[in-house]
Amino acid sequence: MNKSTENILKNSNLRNTHGRTSILEILTKAGKPITQEQIAVKLKKTLNKTTIYRNLESFLKAGMVHRVFLNQRMWAYELSHNCTENQCHPHLICRKCKKTTCITNCNIPLFDNIPGFKIERQKILFEGLCPGCQ
C-alpha cells in the first residue's frame, strides 16, 4: 500500500482495507477508465466481484471515482482527480479497438442554458477511430 492510496481513503472518511487499497492502486496505475471485470482480472481473484462492486460504489459515493459509460453498455471506473464536481473530463473511444483515452488538458465550458432544465453533471464522450485503426 502506498501513502497516496492511504491518504485518498483517509480524506474520503473510508476505512482502510486491503481490498480498497488494492482497487485504488489498480485504478491509479490504469490511468484510464477500466471495467469492474478488468479490475477483477488484475486482482487475480483475491476479491470476488460483489466485493469489488461494493467498494466501487463506496468510492463513487465518496467522490473518489466516477463512472464512464463506454460503448457496449459497459461502465468503467477511474479516479476523479481530473474532474470537477460538475464536469467529467472528456474521453475518446475508438469504435474498432475499443481503446479509451482521457483528455485532461482542455477546458470545455459547462453547457447550462437549457430553459427549465438544471444540469447537474456534464460528461463528454467522443467516438471514432484512433490513429492505429484509421
The domains of the chain, with CATH numbers, are 3-128 (1.10.10.10)
In 3-state terms, what secondary structure has residue 31? coil
User: Which residues, listed in sequence order, are joined to residue 31 by a DSSP beta bridge?
Assistant: none
Which pLDDT score, from 0 to 100, does residue 56 have? 95
Write the DSSP string, 62-113.
HTSEEEEEETTTEEEEEESTT--SSBPPPEEEETTT--EEE--S--PPP---
- List % helix, strand, coil for the chain (3-state, nearest 5): 35, 20, 45
Segment 16-20 mean pLDDT? 90
- Give the tens place of pLDDT for each residue, 48-99: 999 999 999 999 888 888 887 766 667 888 887 766 666 677 888 888 988 8
- Confidence tier at 36 by pLDDT (50, 70, 90): very high
CB neighbour list of residue 57: distance below 8 Å, 6 or more residues apart:
none
Q: At what angle do helices 18-30 and 3-11 cross, to 10 degrees?
A: 110
User: Residue 22 above 90 pLDDT?
Assistant: yes
User: Residue 131 above 90 pLDDT?
Assistant: yes
